[in-house]
Amino acid sequence: MNRQPLADPTPMVSLTTDPCVHCGFCLPTCASYRVLGTEMDSPRGRIHALKAIEAGELELDATTASHFDSCLGCFACVSACPSGVRYDELIEATRPKLNALELRSPAQRAFRALLFALLPYPQRLRAALTPLRAYAGTPLQRLARWSGLTRLLGPQLEAMDQLLPPLQPEAFRDGLPLVVPAQGERRARVGLVLGCVQRLFDPDVNAATLEVLTANGVEVVIPPAQGCCGAVTHHQGELEQTRELANALIESFRAVVGPGKAAGPEPLDAVVVAASGCGHTLKHYDRLLESDQGAAFASQVRDVHEFLAELGLSDAFQAGLGPLTHSDGQPASADNPVVVAYHDACHMLHGQGISAEPRQLLRAIPHLQLREATEAGVCCGSAGIYNLVQPQEAAALGEIKAADLRGTGAEVVASANIGCTMQLRRHLGDGPRVAHPLQLLAAAQRS
Ligand code: SF4
Ligand code: SF4
């Protein structure tokens, strides 16, 4: 863990804070300002605080740190800023400082340590979730919530329970082959990053991704030893652990791809991922690892929508796409399309600049009508572990996002990030169902 003492002489940030002219254009887009309403919980306020700390006018104590902890790291402010302030770099440089022992209570430290010891390690997470298989998604869980029992656990554990989805049997096994051949003529060869949380809480997303890629002539290599990419810890400034996870992930690919290796000698055209929070971190391996190996790996990473849009859906795949079915089992038609609202994950939209590609892919599905939420660029409150460590603020944002998405009249919400998907499912309840765009494409192919 990266623990830096308060007396650390390194400056909090470089003078890149200077371009901020305090215009406030970023404020309406800021998720934390939206729910907390205080200047210190806005990008402008945090930049001001950073300058004051740098100038020795403000101490980074627990109170000041809490205003940085309230930031979701959604980067909507970066997209909104007309002066080009790189708040993303500022908060990334600041997060490790917030992990100093003095800045968090023992209970906060213990909860975060538990999350960082479990979430990035699929085998440990499986072991921890095994006893919950008879509870998650069952009447027992509904009874526990209804009776108020889960409230007794405290807001953080209650939030965990609220997010816990039914656990599928596929989540508890690693049954994917090392190489899945392309169907028809091979057009590309890629590696697939499964994501640690995604493979456990929504394993069908990776299955659908494989289905769509291979049907489009893409051979897929899935290193069996791959673990977490480090996104969970990266977004919280736990740099040492993130680097360990990143190096292990790169090694899992090197172990199987190359001359004499099990997946064959041919290099990969790309490393593809279907969870945008992971994609954002994977694309930062150059800066995180500061090594040629990290830079080479990062340059290969593509979000799956970005990759498919670049490659182009094959003619055969497009010709085979049929309409989706409504919740009553009726197929969509020109007169009665399935209405879908695409939810922009922050690490996709603001973090990777990807917004057109997923929409373009969804439009390939016959009789699918896309609708836009009015505040598509505002965070849903998921933000990695934010909805566990800041449950009240995250819940308020989840309700705002759910109301916005319900207002579109959509029957389906398309979400390409597992964290957002879990947060949206919690807050949409019996409202529109939530599915990954690749799941919708796979379903259209099957229909
Ligand atoms: S970060 Fe950008 S948008 Fe926000 S106050 Fe500063 S200059 Fe204005
Ligand atoms: S990253 Fe998101 S929550 Fe943090 S200051 Fe920027 S807009 Fe606000």
Same domain? 335 vs 377: yes
Does residue 431 belong to any structural domain of this protein? yes
Same domain? 375 vs 438: yes
Can you tell me the distance from the alpha carbon of 245 to that of 297, in angstroms, rounded to the nearest whole number? 14
Q: What is the mean pLDDT of residues 205-212?
A: 97
Of the residues 26, 42, 46, which should be mutated to test ligand 1's pocket, given the most ligand atoms within 8 Å of the CB? Answer: 26
- CATH of residue 408's domain is 3.40.50
Does residue 123 belong to any structural domain of this protein? no
Does residue 228 belong to any structural domain of this protein? yes
Percent of the chain with pLDDT over 90: 88
Q: Specify the long-range contacts of residues 97-101, CB closer than 8 Å, at least 24 apart.
A: 97/4, 97/8, 97/12, 97/60, 97/237, 98/65, 98/68, 98/69, 98/237, 99/1, 99/2, 99/3, 99/4, 99/236, 99/237, 99/238, 100/3, 100/4, 100/5, 100/6, 100/8, 101/3
Same domain? 84 vs 38: yes
What tokens were used for 72? 């979701």
Residue nearest ligand 2's atom 5 by CA? 43
Same domain? 327 vs 278: no
Ligand 1 mean position, distance from CA 18 (Å): 10
* Mean pLDDT score across all residues of the chain: 93
Of the residues 18, 21, 91, which should be mutated to test ligand 1's pocket, given the most ligand atoms within 8 Å of the CB? Answer: 21
Does residue 220 belong to any structural domain of this protein? yes
Residues with CB under 6 Å of ligand 1 are 20-26, 43-44, 47, 77, 80-81, 83, 85, 87
Residue where one domain finishes, among candidates 47, 82, 103: 103
Domain coverage including residue 47: 15-103
Out of 23-37, 138-152, 205-219, 289-303, which region has the weakest mean confidence (pLDDT)?
A: 138-152
Same domain? 334 vs 366: yes
Does residue 277 belong to any structural domain of this protein? yes
Same domain? 356 vs 296: no
For the chain, how big is the Rg over CA atoms in Å? 22
Same domain? 38 vs 67: yes
Q: What is the mean pLDDT of residues 181-189?
A: 97
Tens digit of pLDDT for each residue in 271-304? 999 999 999 999 999 999 999 999 999 999 999 9
Residue where one domain finishes, among candidates 277, 311, 345: 311
Of the residues 22, 30, 78, 89, which should be mutated to test ligand 1's pocket, given the most ligand atoms within 8 Å of the CB? Answer: 22
Residue nearest ligand 1's atom 8 by CA? 23
Q: Cβ contacts of residue 439 below 8 Å, gap of 6+?
A: 204, 205, 208
Does residue 52 belong to any structural domain of this protein? yes
Same domain? 301 vs 324: no
How many domains does one find in the chain?
3
Maximum alpha-carbon separation in the chain: 66
Of the residues 16, 17, 23, 77, which should be mutated to test ligand 1's pocket, given the most ligand atoms within 8 Å of the CB? Answer: 23
Does residue 40 belong to any structural domain of this protein? yes
Residue nearest ligand 2's atom 7 by CA? 30
Residue where one domain finishes, among candidates 311, 341, 364: 311
Same domain? 293 vs 175: yes
Does residue 110 belong to any structural domain of this protein? no
Same domain? 330 vs 424: yes
Tens digit of pLDDT for each residue in 71-120? 999 999 999 999 999 999 999 999 999 999 999 999 999 999 999 999 99
Residues with CB under 6 Å of ligand 2 are 29-32, 43, 71-77, 87
Tens digit of pLDDT for each residue in 26-68? 999 999 999 999 999 999 999 999 999 989 999 999 999 999 9
Ligand closest to 85 (CA) is 1
Ligand 1 mean position, distance from CA 94 (Å): 18
Same domain? 243 vs 327: no
Same domain? 180 vs 248: yes
- CATH of residue 66's domain is 1.10.1060.10
